Structures are given as structure tokens and as C-alpha cells.
């Protein structure tokens, strides 16, 4: 059976409630209409200022917008919620259609191009999504041995875990009723 993935959804470019609804709809279509196929969700922050400018979104807000969007999407796909953040304010609501499974964002994939975004991926428990955003020539001159990205991800995850209090869950969301994952 072949599953389907999104590659990279550049989260700061999206209205998170609409994005969560679209993800849920795609999950329902795959699960119900196409015989139980799994939806793999890949996200990223984006890196080209000109793309943000075209959408009239300040690039300086991209990291904060990405985290808020991720918090909202993850929560919207699991329960009724409300959200109050710096960039988004959402009154108590739920999305339709409701997802057929509760694990649409459990196996989230995230791409990064900076150490800060790598830490964000680790903090959110996202698996690495490797993309070639610089082109083949740059890739050939900056190629890292396969162990290097793995070691960087492991170090960032260890740092994120160490920053938590013993026995606490990761700070997955600022949504008042958001679920916590371990």
C-alpha cells in the first residue's frame, strides 16, 4: 500500500485553522475513500525572504508564526480548543470534518536550515525531513557524512529533553486544553 505525504507545508504562510481542516479532510479521504492509506505531514519554516514578502508576512515573524501554527494545527486535529497567541487568536472551536485518526501529527516530519529550527524540530518531537533547498551544486560542496545530521538531531533532542522538569511533558502548545505528549 502506498501512503501519501505533504512534503513541506510552510507553516508561517498558512492560516492554521484552515490548514488543520484541510489536513483533516485529506486524512479522511485517504483513510476512508482510499482504503486506509496514511497521511504523512511534513512542515517547515521557509527561508526565502522574497516568498514572505510576496505574501505580506514579515520574515522576522516566521519562527513565532511557525510555532503557533504548529500548536494550533496539532490541537485542532485532536479536540475542541481555543487559542490566544501573539499572531493568532481563535475563540473556542472545532474543525470539520473531524479526523478519522488521532495520530495525524504524531509522526510529524520537519525540515530545517538553521540550528534554531533544528532545535524547534527536536522540541516538537518531529522526525527529520531532508530537502535540498540550496541546489545540487551547493549540496555537493557542503555534503555532510550521514552521521552528522543524525548526531545534530540527537543532540538537539537531548537538549530539549534536558530542559524539561523531571516527569513533565514537552510544552507542545499554549492552547488551554491542548493535550500533552511524552
The pLDDT of residue 174: 46
Instruction: State the number of CA atoms in the 13 A half-sphere of 172 facing the CB.
Output: 20
Give the range among 11-25, 69-83, 121-135 with minimum mean pLDDT.
Answer: 121-135
> Could you tell me if residue 181 is inside a domain?
no
Structural domain harbouring 59: 4-163
* Residue 146 pLDDT > 70: no
Average pLDDT of the chain, as a whole number: 80
Give the separation between CA 176 and CA 178, rounded to whole angstroms.
Answer: 6
Cell of 165: 522538569
Domain count, the chain: 1
Give the separation between CA 158 and CA 127, rounded to whole angstroms.
Answer: 14
| Element spanning 68, H or E | helix 62-76
> Could you tell me if residue 25 is inside a domain?
yes
Among 162, 160, 150, 155, CA closest to 120: 160
Give the separation between CA 17 and CA 77, rounded to whole angstroms.
Answer: 9
Q: At 59, which CATH number? A: 3.20.20.30
* Residue 13 pLDDT > 90: yes
User: Confidence band (pLDDT; 50, 70, 90) for 103?
Assistant: confident
> Could you tell me if residue 30 is inside a domain?
yes
pLDDT one-digit tens code per residue, 156-168: 767 766 766 555 4
pLDDT one-digit tens code per residue, 29-53: 888 777 778 888 999 999 889 999 9
Amino acid at each position: 500500500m502506498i501512503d501519501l505525504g505533504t512534503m513541506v507545508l510552510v507553516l508561517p504562510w498558512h492560516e492554521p485553522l484552515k490548514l488543520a481542516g484541510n489536513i483533516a479532510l485529506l486524512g479522511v479521504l485517504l483513510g476512508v475513500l482510499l482504503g486506509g492509506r496514511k497521511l504523512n505531514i511534513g512542515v517547515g519554516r521557509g527561508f526565502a525572504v522574497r516568498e514572505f514578502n510576496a505574501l505580506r508576512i514579515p520574515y522576522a515573524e516566521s519562527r513565532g508564526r511557525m510555532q503557533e501554527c504548529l500548536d494550533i494545527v496539532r490541537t485542532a486535529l485532536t479536540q475542541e480548543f481555543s487559542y490566544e497567541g501573539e499572531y493568532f487568536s481563535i475563540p473556542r472551536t472545532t474543525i470539520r470534518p473531524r479526523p478519522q485518526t488521532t495520530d495525524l501529527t504524531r509522526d510529524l516530519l520537519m525540515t530545517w536550515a538553521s540550528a534554531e529550527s533544528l532545535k524547534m524540530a527536536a522540541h516538537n518531537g518531529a522526525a527529520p525531513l531532508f530537502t535540498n533547498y540550496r541546489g545540487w551544486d551547493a549540496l555537493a560542496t557542503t555534503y555532510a557524512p550521514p552521521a552528522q545530521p543524525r548526531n545534530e538531531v540527537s543532540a538537539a533532542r537531548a537538549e530539549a529533553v534536558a530542559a524539561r522538569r523531571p516527569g513533565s511533558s514537552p510544552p507542545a502548545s499554549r492552547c488551554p486544553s491542548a493535550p500533552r505528549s511524552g
